[in-house]
Amino acid sequence: MSGLATMDSSVCGKMGIITLTYYLWTTFLAVTTGIILVTSIHPGAAAQKEEYTVSKVVLSSADALLDLIRNMFPSNLIEASFQQYRTVLVPVVKPSGSPSTPVKPRSYVYFVPDAENPKIQQPLLLEITPSPDVTYQTMPGTNNEMNVLGIVIFSATIGTWQTLM
């Protein structure tokens, strides 16, 4: 800092322009390299394909935001160093019919050509039972990860209180 204060203003301005030009040029090169690599490699494409094949239940945005707020204020600081709050979705299966009248499977008869003689049709009986209705209930739970947000908020609060004393 003292070296900058002793410099001539014209030299200091020239050094500032060189520094700004260097910063903008390296940022441009980094962004260009990143765009080229992303368009050629397609990172995460395999994970996206797997995600679409398996249907997963996703937690709502409101529950995720409430989890974040709950993690900001942990009930126990020691517990916050190895656990964090997480809303868990529990599947609840609703019975599809009343107990007195059970749901009957649907039966379909298909005629399949014979492997040896395609002119002969073999009957095939297919019974389909309807899938049960599944709803998801939110339950409180924990995750075995460190609650960094809670520890940071606690440390900042203690630091603020100490500066006020």
* Of 26, 139, 151, 5, residue with least CA distance to 79: 151
* Sign, CA torsion 118/121/125/130: positive
- Show the tokens assigned to 48: 């996206």
pTM: 0.47
Q: Give the start-to-end residue ranges of the domains of the chain.
A: 2-53, 61-164
Q: Which residues contact 73 (CB under 8 A, 6 or more apart)?
A: 150, 153
Give residue-wise pLDDT tens across range 71-102: 888 888 888 888 899 998 888 887 665 555 66
Q: Mean pLDDT across the stretch 123-135?
A: 78
| pLDDT band at 13; cut points 50, 70, 90 | confident
Distance separating alpha carbons of residues 88 and 139, to the nearest angstrom: 5
The pLDDT of residue 4: 67
Token code pair at residue 67: 């989890």
Alpha carbon distance 118, 48 (integer Å): 42
DSSP-derived 3-state class of residue 55: coil
Residue type for position 82: F
Rounded mean pLDDT of the chain?
83
Give the distance from CA 158 to its chain's centroid. 31
What six digits make up the tokens of 10? 């014209």
SS3 44: coil
Q: What is the pLDDT of residues 24-70, one digit of tens each?
A: 999 999 999 999 999 998 887 776 665 555 467 778 888 889 999 98
* Tokens describing residue 51: 């995600």
CB atoms within 10 A of CB 165: 4
Between CA 82 and CA 133 the distance in angstroms is: 37
